Structures are given as C-alpha cells and as structure tokens.
Structure 1
Amino acid sequence: MTFTDAAAQSKTMTRAWRDMAEGFGKRELWLHLGWQDIKQRYRRSVLGPFWITIATGTTAVAMGLLYSKLFKLPLEEHLPYVTLGLIIWNLINASILEGSEVFIANEGLIKQLPTPLSVHVYRLVWRQMILFAHNIVIFVVIAIIYPKPWKWIDLAVIPALGLIVLNCVWVSLCFGILATRYRDIGPLLASVVQLLFFMTPIIWNESTLQQQGAGSWAKIVELNPLLHYLDIVRAPLLGADQEVRHWVVVLVLTAVGWGFAAIAMRQYRARVPYWV
C-alpha cells in the first residue's frame, strides 16, 4: 500500500467517528489525567482549586454590587444573574481558548502515546467541568441567601448542561485542529472572546439596554450565539421563564458544530501529530 492510499483511507468518516468513540471509551485515562491536571496546578496549595472559586466569587460579588448600583437594579436579582453568567462564561471561555491549545499543549503525549486525539479533548472538557462544579458552589450560597421559587420545568438545566458539554467538545476539536495548523488562531481567538464578553449579557441584561435608551441593540445582541447558550442554563437556575428560541438556536448550532467537527476530524486528524 502506498502512502497516498494510506492517507486516503485515513480520511474517512468512519475513522473520524471511531477516534471519538475509542477516545470516549478510554474514560479511565482522561478522567485520571483531567483530575491530575487540577491537582498539579494547585500542588502544595492549602485551598487547591477552591482558589478559583474564591476568585470567581469575589469577581461576581464585586461586579454584581457595582453594576446593580450603576444600572439601579435590585441586588437580589442582579447578583445571581451576574454570578451565573460568569460561571457559565468561564466554562465556555475555557473550551474556546484552552481548546485552541489542546493539541499543542499535549505535544509530548500525542507523539509518544498512541491514543485517539479525542482523549485530549475529553480530558480538557472534564477538567473544566470539575472547575465548573467548584464554581457553582458560589451560586448555591447566593441562592440560599436570595431564594427563588422553583418549578419542575427548571430541571431543564440538566439537559442544558449536557448541551453545553457537547458544544465544548466540538468547539475544542475544531479550534484545536485549526490552531495547531495556524498558530495565529490562538491570539486571534483571545481577542475575539474578550470582545464577546462585553457583547454577551453577563453583567447587563435587556432591561439595562432599555434604561440606557439602547433597546434597538437588543436585536443585534440576538446575533451573538453565546447569549442563547447562557440563557438555557441561567434561566432555569434563576427560576425565570424559558424561551424556546434559545433552545432551538443551541440545538441547531450543536448539530452544525458537530458536522464541522466530523469533517475536521476526517480531513486533518492524521496530520495533527505532524503539525504539533
């Protein structure tokens, strides 16, 4: 078999999905590696990963207090809103920025350990879910201080988190492959994500726009896909009314994103070890 024939056989959708399935099957490996990442980062630290919880909580409380005063919003409404926005944003932000470096950061393992590429993505997403679990404690405390009425429909937060995880996987795959080939993608994404933070309703909401006489911007904000991802998780946790359009947008983007991920894996999976 020639090199060309071997390359052609590697560029099949079957090989791409097999990589994803085999990578997921190696759960013991990526669960262990993800947990070790957390332990290694906070080695010899007394509080360990709870430093992230403290940092996120301090930022959320400071921003909640400040912007509730600036926008003249009730603190009991705005503080949980900002806190959840920051916690969910940290998860999405990491899947984009750390996802773009996922293969570059694991160069040694990719070259020396014969494992599916998807293992490194699962490891990254698992690590971020551990940090998310630490940070959600902040919201639990705030929810106890400012209790909200709950409904059975608010359990929709469970499938919503599942969708967020699915999207974190395809985002990390796509940007990881792209940034491995073109190293300028990483810094570019950092700039774009920073801009999106201010364009996403995290520290402000639609009522804020109305108060500032910028209600017409609400339609432009709708073009920001991160708005929809935030809402499907934040609305049920806040006990707010959920809008079907957010779920529809997220489901469509999830299907489209996984289509791109499948194509990227089919076309470039075999080249990543050479690019790193």
Structure 2
Amino acid sequence: MALAQPAGRTYAAAVADLRRGWEQRTLWGHLGWQDIRQRYRRSVLGPVWITISMAVTAVALGILYSGLFDVPLERLLPHVLVGFIVWAFISGCITEGSEVFIANEGLIKHLPAPLSVHVYRLVWRQTLFFAHNLIVYLVMLLVFPQPLKWTVVYAVPAFFLLALNGAWVALAVGIITARFRDILPITQSVVQLAFFLTPIVWIYDELINSPNPAIAERARLAEFNPFLHFLEIIRRPLLGQDQQLRYWVVVLAITVVGWLFTMLVMRRYRSRVSYWV
C-alpha cells in the first residue's frame, strides 16, 4: 500500500516536495533540454551563441581593465574569463529564479507536480549553459596555459555547492516574488550592482596587496560580499591557485543557513504559490 504524501504547512511536506521533485528528474531534465532548444530554434550555431557572446564580452573587458589597472593581459584575462563563466551561472540562478514560478504559471496550475520540479529544471538549464561556457575555459588554457595542479578537482565539489545554493535561492526568492512582484526588478538591480562589487573584472589579491593602505583597506570590504567566496572556491582551482579555507567555510555556512531559511519559507507558503501566480 502506498503511503500518503505529507500535506499542509509542515516541514515533512516541504521535504517531500523536494524528494518527489528529484524523483521526477526525467521530466525536468527533458524540459531543461527543451528550453535551450526552443530558445535557439532555427539558429545555425544554437547554444554556441551563449559561449560566443560571453567570450566576446569577457575578452573586451579583460583588455580594457588590463590597461586601466596596468595588469598583464595574460594574468587578467584568464581571471576575467573564468569569473564570467561562474558569474553567468550565479546570476542566472538568481535572476531567473526570482521569476521561476511566475514564468511557469500555466504548468503550476494545470500540471500536478511538486514546486521543486521547476527549480530543478532551472538549475539543470543553467548547468547546461555552464557546460557550454567551459569551451571558453578550454580555449583559454591553450592560449594562456595555467599552472594547474591536482587541486583542480576541487572545482567539482565547488560547482556542486554552487548548484545547491542556486536551488535554495531560486526556491526562496521565487516564492517571495510570486507574492510580492516588486521583488523581481529589485533582484535584477541587486545582481547588476553585485557584478561590479565582485572581483570578476578586477583581481582581489592585487588590491589588498596594494602599496596604498587606503586602497588595501577598502578592498578588504569585499570579504563581506558573499559572491566573492562562491566565485573563489571554483575559480582558484581552475586557475591553478592555492585554496583558501575561509572561502569554503563561508560558502558552507551560507549553504546551511540558506536551506534552513528556504525550508521555513516552503513550510509556510509552498501551498499558496499556485494562488499567487
């Protein structure tokens, strides 16, 4: 006899939603592929346009900031390229996550599926984009060889943590935005601002080691930027740089706190999303 699924505003119901959503990975896996195929239908290059546009922007900014900061191009450009690849995943999870339930209004109202299915679909789609963008990283290694070490394998658990956090952000912000639509433009503005405050086109270590104490002191404020830590746990191994324990500690702490907050939001408001959208 099949056991009844937990219902109502309980943590058991929230956990069951996540579990049942994961069990339907055939569904959201197929939908994620379809999203990409639909977006680039009738395009000759298809998803490769994602990689081309990102690479052109990263190279242009790398050349620009190399001259502005007087940093050798062979040092700054790999830093910028990998930063762009990681940032594309982070920003995609946040901006698309803020409207993940609004954009799937029809499916939510007519398809009896867990809410988490739509979030898994989003994270899977962003993972596919990330995989496409890794082509730029491989080309960069040929043009600007990096002193890679065995620690490059740390990029795998780092990306797993990135995806895990992308899921809770999409769930929590998506539910809140379904109720308060003003959150959507606010989220987009915050992501744009965070791009400039995060060391993507500038090198954090260069500034904190600046001979100018004022610049070094202001640069250390970046430690309060959570995106710095998520960026560094994956960029450093991909560039052959030594790991910093503090980045992993902050990311793990944010992961735990973020999921605790998300479970609270799901427990209280998961059942109302279909009415709000």
SS at match of 1:148: coil
1:230 equivalenced with 2:228 (yes/no) = no
Deviation of residue 96 (structure 1)? 0.8
Q: 2:19 aligns with which of 7, 18, 21?
A: 21
CA contact (8 A) 1:177 1:268 kept: yes
Q: Take 2:37 and 2:230, find their aligned partners in 1: how far apart are those partners?
A: 29
1:240 equivalenced with 2:241 (yes/no) = yes
Deviation of residue 66 (structure 1)? 1.1
CA RMSD, aligned part only? 1.3
Q: Take 1:17 and 1:246, find their aligned partners in 2: how far apart are those partners?
A: 28
Q: Take 1:90 and 1:73, find their aligned partners in 2: how far apart are those partners?
A: 24
Cα deviation, 1:53-92, whole Å, max 9, x if unaligned, reads 1000001111111111111111111111000111111111
Give 1:138-217 correspondences, 5 Å limit.
Answer: 138-206=136-204, 207-208=206-207, 210=210, 214-217=215-218
Give 1:67-106 correspondences, 5 Å limit.
Answer: 67-106=65-104
Corresponding residue of 2:61: 63
Corresponding residue of 1:53: 51
Q: Take 1:9 and 1:33, find their aligned partners in 2: how far apart are those partners?
A: 26
Greater Cα shift, 64-73 or 226-235: 64-73
Deviation of residue 218 (structure 1)? 2.1
1:258 equivalenced with 2:256 (yes/no) = no
Distance change (3 Å), C-alpha of 1:62 and 1:93: same
Q: Take 1:65 and 1:215, find their aligned partners in 2: how far apart are those partners?
A: 23
Q: Take 1:197 and 1:60, find their aligned partners in 2: how far apart are those partners?
A: 13
Q: Take 1:23 and 1:63, find their aligned partners in 2: how far apart are those partners?
A: 40
SS at match of 1:214: helix
Deviation of residue 151 (structure 1)? 1.6
Corresponding residue of 1:30: 28
Which AA in structure 1 matches 2:157?
A: P
Distance change (3 Å), C-alpha of 1:64 and 1:211: farther
1:116 equivalenced with 2:117 (yes/no) = no
1:275 equivalenced with 2:273 (yes/no) = no
SS at match of 2:46: coil
CA contact (8 A) 1:199 1:221 kept: yes
Q: Take 1:131 and 1:229, find their aligned partners in 2: how far apart are those partners?
A: 18
Distance change (3 Å), C-alpha of 1:68 and 1:211: farther
SS at match of 1:222: helix
SS at match of 1:10: coil
CA contact (8 A) 1:71 1:208 kept: no
SS at match of 2:151: helix
Deviation of residue 269 (structure 1)? 0.6
Corresponding residue of 1:4: none
Greater Cα shift, 223-232 or 213-222: 213-222
CA contact (8 A) 2:18 2:116 kept: yes
CA contact (8 A) 1:228 1:246 kept: yes
Cα deviation, 1:103-155, whole Å, max 9, x if unaligned, reads 00000000000000000000001001101111111011011111122221221
- Structure 2: unaligned runs, 5 residues or longer: 1-5
Deviation of residue 219 (structure 1)? 2.2
Deviation of residue 208 (structure 1)? 4.1
- Structure 1: unaligned runs, 5 residues or longer: 1-7
